[in-house]
Structure 1
Amino acid sequence: MLEKPAGRYTGYTAYDYLEPGVDYRQFRYAKQLGRVAPYAGLELSDAEKERTTRLLSDETVISLHEHVQVFPEDMGELREHIRQGREPTGYLGLAHSGMTAVFDNGMDGTCCISSDAGWKYQDVIHDLGVRMADIAHQDFVIKGETLADIEYARETGRIAHIFALEASTMIENEVDRLDVLYGIGVRQMGIAYSEANTLGSGLKERGDGGLTYFGERAVERMNKLGIAIDVSHSGDRTSLDVIKHSRLPVFITHAGARAVWPTNRMKPDDVIKACAERGGVIGIEAAPHTTLSPDHPHHSLESVMDHFEYCVDLVGIEHVSFGPDTLFGDHVGLHDAFAANLSIAQAHSHIDHPRVEYVDGVENPAEAFFNIIGWLVKHGYSDDEIRLVVGQNTLRVLKEVWVS
């Protein structure tokens, strides 16, 4: 991560405009910096470190998928924390991240304000609205809705925070809800999470019926609105149907290659190729126990980059990016607490592998891109190639998909 925070950051903490203990319940939160030991697996020379820092600071760096909230230090308090409907954004960690823009996917699957099952429309609207109200009270992280917002963030040393949702489950059978979500700032949406919904099948289902007729209507509406579509958690047939039916490129915002690690959570070659052939991009995932590899089954940056290199060889560097899927706090603890909601067992197919406490080198949003860029520098990638995978590939798709 950057040693010094971004110059625009003034020290703002989430909900500083409110009174803790009066307006909301305060929890003890995880550290945004230094929660785990620094990554020791990447030894950069002074010249390589300088080049890494320059690229991170000067280029447009976009994460296709993160959760930039801060979680309680005691994950036993997680449900109480979520139920009050006030997730805190990790401004300090973001100030050290070097990112220009970040797609923040909230916690819609675990947003249990009114129901422990998650995915409820009223809960998602509440979660989005409260987060947006907090962002509006400071001037470092800005609400990102257009390409101009991303460019403004790059020029002024800010971060464009782009709201996204991992599935469209909360729209139920109401296609106009997509307009509402777009109107309040959502610019990227998944089709289905692990479980099937009215649009199509998720990756955990025994059978995949593909995109439904209602799903086709939803895809068409997303195209018209300018909502980028994500198929990371959709089933294989549903993913292929979405890619075919969408008249615009589609993202796989956070996944890896099933040919490298054979679980449902990873994408097969035909889906990755179809996405690329229609102009789309796959963002490489780094959430705990996802992008493992036979060479690096102990999940770390090295495992993640095994998937990156496989995808580059498969579809070309112009169609690969990063969606590390990190957060501030105990990500493994989150998965343990919400294993049923997130269909962890079904998605990971019970393949034996070493269990880690965190993904070494890609543990949180503050460190992810310094280490990713450092790895690329260390392994001989050119500045132009690095620019593509950390931002320009994503921008190319957004220029086609977004309306402005």
Structure 2
Amino acid sequence: MGRDKRYDQYESYDYLDDDAYEQFDLPAVHAGFDPYEVPLSDDEEARLNAVLDDTVISLHDHPFYFPEHLSEDIQDYIRAGRARTAFEALSETPLDAVFDMHLDGLSHIHSHHGWKWSEIVHDVTMRAADIQHSDYGIRASGVEDIERARENGQLAFVPALESAAMIENELDRLDQLYGMGIRSIGVTYDASNSLGAGKGGVYEVDGGLTTFGVDAIARMNDLGLAVSTSHASKQTTLDVCDVTVKPIFDTHALAQGAGMGKRGTSDEELEAIAATGGVIGLLSSAHLPSIDEYMEHFEYLVDLVGIDHVAFGPDVLYGDHTELLRVLAADQGVELPESTLQTEYVRGLENPTEAWQNIPRWLVKEGYSDRDIEKILGENILRVLDETWA
């Protein structure tokens, strides 16, 4: 279907009266940054339209708005537990599916630190109720739903979580999450948990995957939950790659070898993920000033693990991402790395609309073949899902 999306004018929680829940001012799609479009010739524009007939999937994004007045409203917005999906803005992209990462580390709906079982259930089910009231958005429980979305000009939301912290020591909670529609889950979110060590800070001890973590990966494999090692420690990632019987994802990563340093993922981990048959999604970050530096990491990954194991997981949202990091850091009493604050926004990648308009344009402009573009934008991910969701 390409860019011919059948947006139905539905906006988040239209099924309720405005006075049924707390309202917040939301930013314009391009508020706070100068929009940028990768320039193409007329011939390249024609080719772009042709390649976008194939499936386009984001492996990692937060496809909803944060409030316009972040410092004033962010905590109330989170605790209200009703993230506003950007349906109209998403319809301006070529996306057929997006791995929807929910509030995740910001899921402190009922507590200060988040990741509690009740908070994840609230976030997942509230967003499910909203999406299911839209004719444009559908929730994907299988590959056929993504294919149906592409054919019908809809957008498939793949419910996903960045950590399994909320299962605590209960394997059956993985079954419950699957029953709620979750189809991809991370092992840790920086901090260590009952499954294994997180990427964390200087005080994290990298003990790798725990015995319970081994059992959890086996249950994920059995259920058909796609596993991600984003935010996991090096040893945890290597251990997951060793014990999984299905391909895995790192849904959003940057490479140490491309200049990211300790915050990036090592070549050894990236190669181990690829060796499972898995796929690495490329992360956008304030550490990178523009799409050009972003694509340097992409080309590094392609050279390292091959075109069959790379995709895109920008990890962007609608709102001022850098200001959000500032506000959250201040709330937690931590200091952001200087590299995070070197740019106010990433030129060409600031939110899902801009990112997913520009990523295919860059690939066409740089002369990637139709076949390679098809793999990078969707087919690699579908291949892994065919194996893991079966």
TM-score range, shorter chain: over 0.9
Following the alignment from structure 1 to structure 2, what is the Cα–Cα distance between the partners of residues 341 and 181?
30
Name the count of aligned residue pairs: 386
CA displacement, residues 224-282 of structure 1 (integer Å, 9 cap, x when unaligned): 00000000110000000001111101101100110112433311000001111110111
Following the alignment from structure 1 to structure 2, what is the Cα–Cα distance between the partners of residues 199 and 15?
35
Q: Which residue of 1 aligns with 2:350?
A: 363
The answer to whether residue 46 in structure 2 is matched with residue 50 in structure 1 is yes
- 1:247-286 superposed matches below 5 A: 247-286=245-284
Unaligned runs of 5+ in 1: 293-298
The one-letter code sitting in structure 2 at the alignment partner of 1:61 is V
Q: Which residue of 1 aligns with 2:176?
A: 180
Following the alignment from structure 1 to structure 2, what is the Cα–Cα distance between the partners of residues 258 and 384?
28
**TM-score (structure 1 length as normaliser):** 0.91
In structure 2, do the counterparts of structure 1 residues 103 and 341 end up closer, same or farther at CA, with 3 Å as the change threshold?
farther
Following the alignment from structure 1 to structure 2, what is the Cα–Cα distance between the partners of residues 106 and 225?
21
Conserved? CA contact 2:286–2:340, under 8 Å: no
The answer to whether residue 163 in structure 2 is matched with residue 167 in structure 1 is yes
Unaligned runs of 5+ in 2: none
**TM-score (structure 2 length as normaliser):** 0.95
- State which of 36, 48, 65 in structure 2 corresponds to 1:39: 36
Conserved? CA contact 2:286–2:341, under 8 Å: no
CA displacement, residues 86-125 of structure 1 (integer Å, 9 cap, x when unaligned): 1111101110111011001011211121111011110110
Measure how far apart 1:33 and its partner are: 4.8
Residue 124 of structure 1 aligns to a residue whose secondary structure is helix
The answer to whether residue 112 in structure 2 is matched with residue 125 in structure 1 is no
In structure 2, do the counterparts of structure 1 residues 97 and 341 end up closer, same or farther at CA, with 3 Å as the change threshold?
farther
Q: Higher mean Cα deviation, 361-370 or 380-389? A: 361-370
Q: Which residue of 2 aligns with 1:24?
A: 21
CA displacement, residues 208-237 of structure 1 (integer Å, 9 cap, x when unaligned): 100000101110000000000000110000
The one-letter code sitting in structure 2 at the alignment partner of 1:257 is A
Residue 162 of structure 1 aligns to a residue whose secondary structure is strand
Conserved? CA contact 1:65–1:103, under 8 Å: yes
The answer to whether residue 369 in structure 2 is matched with residue 382 in structure 1 is yes
Residue 159 of structure 2 aligns to a residue whose secondary structure is strand
The answer to whether residue 309 in structure 2 is matched with residue 319 in structure 1 is yes
The answer to whether residue 89 in structure 2 is matched with residue 59 in structure 1 is no
The one-letter code sitting in structure 2 at the alignment partner of 1:129 is T
Return the structure number with greater helix share.
Answer: 2
In structure 2, do the counterparts of structure 1 residues 84 and 252 end up closer, same or farther at CA, with 3 Å as the change threshold?
same
The one-letter code sitting in structure 2 at the alignment partner of 1:309 is E
Following the alignment from structure 1 to structure 2, what is the Cα–Cα distance between the partners of residues 353 and 72?
21
- State which of 195, 198, 206 in structure 2 corresponds to 1:199: 195
In structure 2, do the counterparts of structure 1 residues 246 and 173 end up closer, same or farther at CA, with 3 Å as the change threshold?
same
The one-letter code sitting in structure 2 at the alignment partner of 1:300 is S
Following the alignment from structure 1 to structure 2, what is the Cα–Cα distance between the partners of residues 352 and 157?
39
Q: Higher mean Cα deviation, 200-209 or 156-165? A: 200-209
Measure how far apart 1:288 and its partner are: 2.3
- 1:224-303 superposed matches below 5 A: 224-289=222-287, 292=288, 299-303=289-293
Q: Which residue of 2 aligns with 1:296?
A: none
- State which of 147, 153, 158 in structure 2 corresponds to 1:157: 153
Q: Which residue of 2 aligns with 1:305?
A: 295
Following the alignment from structure 2 to structure 1, what is the Cα–Cα distance between the partners of residues 241 and 334?
25
- State which of 111, 114, 136 in structure 2 corresponds to 1:115: 111
Measure how far apart 1:353 and its partner are: 7.1
In structure 2, do the counterparts of structure 1 residues 344 and 141 end up closer, same or farther at CA, with 3 Å as the change threshold?
farther
In structure 2, do the counterparts of structure 1 residues 323 and 341 end up closer, same or farther at CA, with 3 Å as the change threshold?
farther
